[in-house]
Structures are given as structure tokens and as C-alpha cells.
Amino acid sequence: MEMGRWKGLNGFFSSVFLFCVVLDVQLDGLLGASHEEIEHHLEMGKKLLAAGQLAEALSHYHSAVEGDPKNYLTYYKRAAVLLAMGKSKTALPDLSKAIELKPDFLAARLQRGNILLKQGNTQEAKKDFEEVLRGNPHHEEAWLQLQHIQELDQLILEARNAYNRKDCTAAITIMERVIEVSPWDPEARELRAECYISIGELRKAIQDLLPTTKLRNDNRAAFLQLSRLYYILGEHEDSLSQVRECLKLDQDDKECFSHYKQVKKLSKQLESAEQYIAEERYEDAVEKYHSVMKTEPNVQFYSIKAKERICHCLSKSKKAKEAIDVCSEAHQIDPNNIFVLRDRAEAFILNEEYEKAVEDYQEAHSFIAENHEIKEGLDRAQKLLKQSRKRDYYKILGVHRNANKQEIIKAYRKLAQQWHPDNFQSQDKKKEAEKKFIDISSAKEVLTDPEMRQKFDAGEDPLDPESQQGAGGGQHGWPFEFNPFGSGNFHFKFHYN
């Protein structure tokens, strides 16, 4: 029994011994031959760094640190590459390790002090600069940085006092110098962002808050604030992106999740509404934009946006009077919106209020003269106004501009029966009727022909001899082939095509 136990123990110790021998061989292989290999890695790292191949240089310095973890220079050189790559937070531990291994290593202390100062950690930075001066009392850069620290502490105190007394303009001015010295200090940027928000400079607040999301390891507050700012500005996609970053850090964050649900709901409504417009489903789009205003009644941007798009939809769906009312409301809120002016102008054209259409297009044109669509709209409105003072085929038949072909033919039949010259006895009445009958027939001819109607709607009379560029005109502006009376001997006939 005892012999068996000893055999088992002997086998166990033999295995442990063998493992240790193998491990020792492996370590000896790594570290024993490390001097040449480490020198090679350091040399390659130096060359690649000089060539600007930072990732490759970093790889070699990683190998050098692993090969000799007690060499302070390898840590320092790896930190130099990380700093060149803009990874100051990652470089800081390497500098600290180099200082730990060699406390009198002044270059590493100076570099670490500079990073700490940029991060706004003035107390720790001060210690490093003082250590540098102990080793070299005449070190100019260390003296200069200590002066910056003294200045910085005073400026931060002044900025906070200005902020507390709600003098944000003064606080912003002071913080500009603070951030110039400590650009990686999240607290300084957050304070200035709060000041910008107080005075309504939301874009500038965003510019300050964006870097802070990387300057802190878990900056959910900054992601949430950024999301809210983008939301207020109407940039719901960016708002959604920022709040998602907050939830990546903590999916159970109540504030972020609550805001996420609101932004997500609004985003879906806006996307659906625009999709309906693209599909020319204008009634559905109007309904969806009403939902947008219910979902977010407190942020003015979305109310203005909804009214602008409802104005557009009503104009496109030929609901002239409704469009004019909504567009006028939107114009009152946002007088410089050229799209509202454009859509109201089109509604005025539908309502045959050409002078008002011209006025809206002219106003839009004054804001942005280079816009091709606005320029074309103005030209068309001016032509229609000029045309309305001559002969308006819609008015002749008494139909709206959005009347369909059946409505036009029905109106033509009724008026043709009423004004046919055969219905009148006296020559004066017959001549008057003949003129009206020609106008009625002209209107029917133009408005039932898609090509001619399109020209007329664009402000060009296809039966006007002046518009025909030399084409022969019959009596009352009819081309010969369209004259319903020919040589004057006609018979009463209706064409119901």
C-alpha cells in the first residue's frame, strides 16, 4: 500500500519536474536569446517610427517589452509610438512604468507631466515638473509648465465663479485659455458646453462634448446630453446614434433608455412620412406628420418641419385652399423657408391667384437666386399671370385647374349647347355667340389634349399665334386646322371624344 503511494508521488513529482524543465527551456529560449532579438525589435521599431509606419513600429516595441519587461527604455519608446498615434491615455501607463523602473528618468517625467497637464490633472503634473527641476534646476520647459499650472488653477477658479453667477459669456472667454493649455480635460469642456447651452449655442456645445466621450472611460452623461442636443436641433439620426452609445455602456440606464424610446418612435414616424411622400401617398404622409406633432409637441423644430411637409403634401395633392392655410401658418413661423414659399405659390396657382404666386416665388428667389426650381417656378407664375389677363381656358369652361378630362368635356357640352350660334336670331347676338363658341371649343381642344394642356399649365398658350413662332392663326387665334367653322358654313356637331 505504502509502496503504491510512493510510486504515485514519484510519478507526480517527475511530471512537475519535467514541466518545470520544459518551461525553463522555453523561458530560456525567449529570454536567453532575447538580447539580440530585443535589439532587433528596438532597431526595427526605430526605423519604422522614422518612416511613419506607426502600427508596425508598435508591434516591434510590444515584442521588445515582452522580451525584457524590466527595461525602462522599451516602455519609454513604446510610449513615444503611442503618443505619435494620438493614444496619450494608453501611453501614460508605459511612462509610469519607465519612471517606476528608473525614478530619475527625467525625459519620461517631463513627458508624463505634459500629458497630465493636458488632461487637466495639475496636481500630479506639478509633481513631475518639480522632480525634473530637482534633477535639472535650469530646465526651461519644466519652469514654463509650472507657470502654466499656476495660471490654470487661477483661471479655473475664475471660470467657475463666472458660471455660478450666470455670466456664461465671461466663463466661455476664460475657458478658452484653460482648454488651450488642457485640451484633454473633460471637466473643462463640459463646463464650457454648459455655458454654450445656456446662451443657446448648441452646435458649439456639441463640439465640446464630443471629445469628452473619449476622454472618460464611461461617459454616459455626455452621450445622453449629445443625443438631447441633436434631438432639439432636429437631427434625429445623430440623436439616435449617440443614445445608442450610452446604452452600449449600460443597457439598463433608465434615462438613456427612456430617451431612446422617444427618439426611436419619432424617427420611425419621420421616415414613414417621407417614404409616403416619395410614393406620392400624400394623405398618409399628412396623417403621419400630424402624429409627429403629437409625439413631440415641445420641440419647435418638429412642429415647423411637420407643417412645412403638410403644406407640401396638400399642394401636391391639389388641395389648394387647405394648402394655402397651412403654408401661410408655416410661413409665419419660418418666413425664410423657400420650400414653404414654393409650395404656397403652387397652391396659389391652383387657386388661380397668380399675382400672389408671383409674389411668393419672387420672395423665395430673393433668398436664393441660384435655385433652378425657384427660378423656373417664378417664370411659370409670371407667364400664367400674363396669360390670365388674356385668355384662361379654365375660366372659359368654368372648371378648376385640377379638373379631369370628364369634367372638362361635361362643362364644354353644357356651354356649347348654350352658346351655339344657331340658338340666336339677330346678327349681333350670333356674332357674340360665335366668338364665345370658338373660345369654348378652343378651351376644350387645349384642355383635353395632354400635351397642349401641359404647355398651357406652364404658362404658354398653344393656340396663341405669338407662341407658335410663325404658325398661321385663324380667327380669334385658332390655327386653321382647329377652326370649328372652316369657311363660315358650318353645321351644328358635337365631338365627344
> Could you tell me the three cell numbers for 396?
372659359
Q: How many Cβ atoms are within 10 Å of 368's Cβ, its own excluded?
A: 12
**Residue spans of alpha helices (H) in 51-167:** 54-67, 72-84, 88-101, 106-118, 122-135, 140-164
> Could you tell me the three cell numbers for 42?
528596438
Please check the confidence at residue 263 and state whether its pLDDT lies above 80.
yes
DSSP 466: G
pLDDT category of residue 476 using cuts at 50, 70 and 90: very low
Dmax of the chain from CA atoms? Answer: 147
CA-based torsion, 246, 251, 257, 261: positive or negative:
positive
Mean pLDDT of 265-270: 96
Whether the model clears a pTM of 0.75, i.e. scores above it, the answer is no
Q: How does pLDDT run across 343-367, given as a tens digit for each residue?
A: 999 999 999 899 999 999 999 999 9
3-state SS class at 318 = coil
Answer whether 37's CB lies under 8 Å from 67's CB.
Answer: yes
Which residue in 130, 126, 119 sits closest to 181, CA to CA?
119
Q: How does pLDDT run across 203-227, given as a tens digit for each residue?
A: 999 999 999 999 988 999 999 999 9
Distance CA 237, CA 257 (A): 16
Which residues make up the CATH 1.10.287.110 domain(s) of the chain?
A: 403-482
Fold that domain 37-152 belongs to in CATH: 1.25.40
Phi/psi for 132 (5° steps) reads -60, -40
Pick one of 3.40.50.1820, 1.10.287.110, 3.40.50.12280, 3.30.365.10 as the CATH number of 403-482: 1.10.287.110
DSSP 32: I
Contacts with 342 (C-beta within 8 Å, 6 or more apart), sequence order: 360, 361, 364, 373, 374, 377
- CA angle, 255 as apex, 250 and 260 as ends, to 5°? 85
Q: How does pLDDT run across 384-435, given as a tens digit for each residue?
A: 898 887 778 888 888 888 889 999 999 999 998 888 888 888 888 888 888 8
Which residue in 126, 186, 124, 116 sits closest to 151, CA to CA?
126
Helix or strand run (H / E) with residue 76: helix 72-84
Mean pLDDT of 252-257: 96
Q: How does pLDDT run across 316-350, given as a tens digit for each residue?
A: 999 999 999 999 999 999 999 999 999 999 999 99
Write down the residue that cell numbers 440623436 correspond to: 239
DSSP 234: T
Distance CA 91, CA 112 (A): 9
Task: Give the residue with greater pLDDT, 37 vs 496.
Answer: 37
Which residues make up the CATH 1.25.40.10 domain(s) of the chain?
A: 37-152
Q: How does pLDDT run across 83-141, given as a tens digit for each residue?
A: 999 898 899 999 999 999 999 999 999 999 999 999 999 999 999 999 999 999 999 99
pLDDT category of residue 13 using cuts at 50, 70 and 90: very low
Please check the confidence at residue 24 and state whether its pLDDT lies above 60.
no
